[in-house]
């Protein structure tokens, strides 16, 4: 998995090592900055948008 360092992911908070992963998961479990991490791992460029003509719900967000 290749995740770019953006949003809540940086040199300290990331999934590169077991220790850093545990720190990041602890931070997310306390609801401190979990939305920043989520924004960092979402790849919106590859998301399929909703198409009202065909009725396809898409895959961005919840449907």
Residue 10 has pLDDT above 70, yes or no: yes
Return the structure tokens found at 35: 């939305």
Residue 4 has pLDDT above 60, yes or no: yes
Distance CA 63, CA 50 (A): 9
Percentage with pLDDT > 70 across the chain: 60
For residue range 38-61, list pLDDT tens digits in order: 777 776 665 566 666 766 655 555
Per-residue confidence (pLDDT) for residue 43, from 0 to 100: 63
Residue predicted with more confidence, 19 or 34: 19
Per-residue confidence (pLDDT) for residue 18, from 0 to 100: 93
């Amino acid at each position: 998995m290749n995740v770019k360092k953006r949003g809540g992911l940086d040199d300290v908070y990331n999934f590169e090592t077991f220790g850093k992963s545990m720190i990041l998961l602890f931070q997310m479990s306390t609801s401190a900055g979990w939305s920043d991490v989520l924004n960092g791992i979402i790849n919106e460029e590859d998301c399929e948008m909703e198409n009202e003509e065909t009725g396809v719900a898409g895959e961005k967000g919840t449907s």
